[in-house]
């Protein structure tokens, strides 16, 4: 790939702050105990790739002014920031030193760039610091921290790579894609879109802790408390490679058939991946292994959170087992059942216990995955996140710019019903893992 062969330069055509187009609330936005666990994670790097009608592999496509028109994008962003006003804010602290979002309409960073790349350069692109450097706004250069930055990259073939960085303390993936859909709809349909769009719910007190906080003992058998982690020798960045594996539509269907009983695609694919990683790592049969995954709590509370709740509505759940019970041949359905069982146990009490756990910890927890034991695997679903249509169709793909730590996988929709698995693993196990993941019998 071009980006890996030689260092590319970035030609910046514009850089500015886009502020909300109308008045927005001016206050310090209280952050939930769940939000605070993501404070050290920083910005989530989302990449949306679009091919214009004139895009070609040769790079001969001309820039189409109607395709991602900059003035229209900025005007639509300004309107979207009225409803999603926390993304125009800055990270701050309240009178007691607790983190909050200072909402005063300061704006989102908006950058236009012209990298020397084509759409087809991204066909097998792996997450990397170089990908982030080329295609994403330098939000880290701003203090206090921005909540949102956007970089519109006009490729030499006529396509567009849209790099968006949203601070994780402000949003989870569900909220981020709600914002993307709103911005793209306003850009595509103008004022007519605003009447049909679901407005975000900013009442984060819906996830306030109880008084006094209490953690139910059974909650910790499923809920996985985060903790501060530091890079270890076995999982240093030098030992890690980022790989993209693609399961065909037929392979995904075959996994679900083996699992049967209405098991979800997430459970089936995660079970297969977990088994393959355990085998490729050659873990001891008596070792205990754990699969960790973020679960959306919005529908698990009583009463349920609004579907449009804007913030971090996720907690980490886990399924565990002995390696021999996870990796042995013929155990796929059983392993998928373990994952499904963990999800089924997420109810109001478990979620409230998780919130109270974070409150008791007093901000001394972090969801940032610095390093994990090789017995653990974290799987995150970004499926169903391809709806950001700015007027010329949905993106070819949604990608993550960088993922430096081993043991983390992202599940994303592929072409024609396939599934792309973006996986960060130890370089030494890649060949075995590919064989097991793509060619092994279930």
Closest CA to 419 of 386, 389, 393: 386
What are the catalytic residues?
168, 389
Q: Beta-carbon neighbour count of residue 202 at 10 Å? A: 18
Question: What secondary structure, in 3-state letters, does the chain show?
Answer: CHHHHCCCCCCEEEEEEECCCCCCCCEEEECCHHHHCCHHHCEEEEEEEECCCCCCCCCCCCCCCCCCCHHHHHHHHHHHHHHCHHHHCEEEECCCCCEEEEECCCCEEEEEECCCCCHHHHCCCCCCHHHHHHHCCCHHHCCCCECEEEEEEECCCCCEEEEEEEECCCCCHHHHHHHHHHHHHHHHHCHHHHCCCCCCECCHHHHCCCCCCCCCHHHHHCECCCCCCCCCCCCCHHHEEEEEEEECHHHHHHHHHHHCCCCCHHHHHHHHHHHHHHHHCCCCCCCEEEEEEEEECCCCCCCCCCCCECCCCEEEEEEEEEHHHHHCCCCHHHHHHHHHHHHHCCCHHHHHHHHHHHHHHCCCCCCCCCCCCCCEEEEEECCCCCCCCCCCCCCCEEEECCCCCCCEEEEEECHHHCEEEEEEEEHHHHHHHHHHHHHCCC
What is the C-alpha separation between 163 and 151, in angstroms, rounded? 5
């Amino acid at each position: 790939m071009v980006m890996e062969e030689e260092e590319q330069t970035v030609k910046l055509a514009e850089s500015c702050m886009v502020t909300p187009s109308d008045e927005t609330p001016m206050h310090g936005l209280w952050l939930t105990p769940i939000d605070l666990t993501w404070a050290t994670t920083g910005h989530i790097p989302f990449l949306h790739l679009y091919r214009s009608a004139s895009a070609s592999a040769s790079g001969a496509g001309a820039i189409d002014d109607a395709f991602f028109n900059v003035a229209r994008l900025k005007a639509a962003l300004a309107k979207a920031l009225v409803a999603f006003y926390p993304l125009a804010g800055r990270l701050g602290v309240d009178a007691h030193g607790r983190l909050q979002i200072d909402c005063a309409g300061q704006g989102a960073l908006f950058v236009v760039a012209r990298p020397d790349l084509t759409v087809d350069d991204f066909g097998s692109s792996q997450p990397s610091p170089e990908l982030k450097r080329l295609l994403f706004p330098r939000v880290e250069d701003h203090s206090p921290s921005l909540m949102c930055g956007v970089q519109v990259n006009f490729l030499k073939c006529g396509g567009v790579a849209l790099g968006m960085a949203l601070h994780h303390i402000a949003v989870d993936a569900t909220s981020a894609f709600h914002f993307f859909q709103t911005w793209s709809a306003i850009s595509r349909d103008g004022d007519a879109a605003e009447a049909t769009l679901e407005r975000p719910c900013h009442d984060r007190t819906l996830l306030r802790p109880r008084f006094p906080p209490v953690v139910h003992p059974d909650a910790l058998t499923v809920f996985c408390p985060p903790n501060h982690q530091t890079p270890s020798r076995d999982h240093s960045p030098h030992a890690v490679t980022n790989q993209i594996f693609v399961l065909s539509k037929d392979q995904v269907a075959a996994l679900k058939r083996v699992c049967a009983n209405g098991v979800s695609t997430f459970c089936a694919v995660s079970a297969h991946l977990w088994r393959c990683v355990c085998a490729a790592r050659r873990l001891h049969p008596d070792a205990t292994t754990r699969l960790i995954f973020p679960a959306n709590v919005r529908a698990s509370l009583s009463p349920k959170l609004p579907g449009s709740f804007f913030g971090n509505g996720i907690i980490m759940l886990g399924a565990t087992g002995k390696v021999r019970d996870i990796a042995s041949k013929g155990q796929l359905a059983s392993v998928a059942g373990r994952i499904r069982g963990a999800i089924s146990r997420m109810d109001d009490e478990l979620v409230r216990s998780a919130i109270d756990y974070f409150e008791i910890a007093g901000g001394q927890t972090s969801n940032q995955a610095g390093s994990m034991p090789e017995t653990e695997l974290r799987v995150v679903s970004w499926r169903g996140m391809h709806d950001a249509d700015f007027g010329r169709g949905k993106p070819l793909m949604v990608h993550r710019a960088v993922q430096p730590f081993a043991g983390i996988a992202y599940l994303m929709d592929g072409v024609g019903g396939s599934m792309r698995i973006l996986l960060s693993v130890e370089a030494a196990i890649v060949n075995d893992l590919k064989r097991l993941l793509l060619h092994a019998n279930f």
